[in-house]
Structure 1
Amino acid sequence: MTAPVLGKSYDRPASLDSPRAPRRVSGNNFEKYAWLFMRFSGLLLIVLVFGHMTIMLMLDGGVKRINFGFVAGRWASPFWQFWDLTMLWLAQLHGGNGLRTVIDDYARKDQTRFWLKALLAVAMILIMGVGSYVIFTFDPNIS
């Protein structure tokens, strides 16, 4: 279908002619799920981080009471181990997903994009692995 523009005609995309036409559905929904993950993980991170900051910085004397014994007592409870592990994993995955989007937006070459994403994945796995290891193997009895 053609439409006149200042005496000229041009071909219009079909999507402009019928805005309610069904959109092309692709089999890859990764970006949709990544977008949803960012929203939900962000909300959960707000709760986890503000809870962490309130407990660590404001209650029972604040920062002055934080020492090795405090951390040992806190990580003796599976609840606090799970809290800190969840905060670590969500922060890494949320930040990594955001940085992946930045890499997609600004890396011009496919090869550069690939290596930056590979470096990002290695860094995320390393940090989550070491952090998880520390949380689960923390020994308050240093000899």
Structure 2
Amino acid sequence: MSAETLAPARRRSGVNLEKWGWVFMRVSGVVLVVLIFGHLISNLLVGDGIHALDFAFIAGKFATPFWQWWDVLMLWLALIHGANGMRTIVNDYVINPRARKALVWAIGLAAALLIVLGTLVVFTFDPCLGFEPGGALDEVCS
């Protein structure tokens, strides 16, 4: 055996993005379980349950900052978690470096676009656009 085969591996300097991606997947998965079950319990089990779900119910939830931030956090974590998982799959199975780079960029751009649009919807949601008196939104929009 030569001395080259027995030499210890060199560590790369800088941030280990793969390690932090792995840590993020574990932490965000746990947080997402809490957020999703909280979301399901508050929407399906509390009050009248599934029978209470309508446009006015969602308008009432989006009128409070707590639920806006809850849903935005759930949206951001779910999209970043999913995009990171897709990035890992692409890195594992796509052999061509140019195709890999293009797919990773496409995944990142799609996730970023959905995060921006979803966040805008949550924080700019106005249930009273096109409001007609006598409907389900009388309490919210009057």
TM-score (norm 1): 0.83
* 1:137 maps onto 2:124 in alignment: yes
Q: Quick one: which of 77, 84, 87 aligns to 1:97?
A: 84
Cα deviation per residue 1:86-125 (whole Å; 9 max; x = unaligned)? 0000000011001100000111101110111111111101
Q: Quick one: which of 19, 28, 48 aligns to 2:35?
A: 48
Q: Quick one: which of 62, 65, 73 aligns to 1:86?
A: 73
Alpha-carbon distance between aligned partners in 2 of 1:132 and 1:80, rounded to the nearest angstrom: 13
Distance apart, 1:24 and its partner CA: 3.0
Distance apart, 1:13 and its partner CA: 3.7
Structure 1, 80-89 or 28-37: larger mean CA deviation: 28-37
Which of structures 1 and 2 has the bigger CA Rg? Answer: 1
Distance apart, 1:11 and its partner CA: 7.7
Q: What CA RMSD, in Å, does the superposition of the two structures yield over aligned residues?
A: 1.8
Query: Per chain length, whose mean CA-contact separation is higher, i.e. which structure has more relative contact order (CA < 8 Å, sep 6+)?
Result: 2
Alpha-carbon distance between aligned partners in 2 of 1:76 and 1:30, rounded to the nearest angstrom: 38
- State how 1:1-143 maps to structure 2 within 5 Å: 2=1, 13-14=5-6, 24-27=10-13, 28-143=15-130
Alpha-carbon distance between aligned partners in 2 of 1:66 and 1:115, rounded to the nearest angstrom: 41
TM-score (norm 2): 0.83
- How many pairs are equivalent? 129
Gaps of 5+ in 2: 131-142
Alpha-carbon distance between aligned partners in 2 of 1:51 and 1:117, rounded to the nearest angstrom: 32
Moved over 2 A (4+): 10-15
* Percent of matched pairs sharing the same residue: 41
Distance apart, 1:25 and its partner CA: 2.2
Gaps of 5+ in 1: 3-9, 16-20
More strand by share: 1
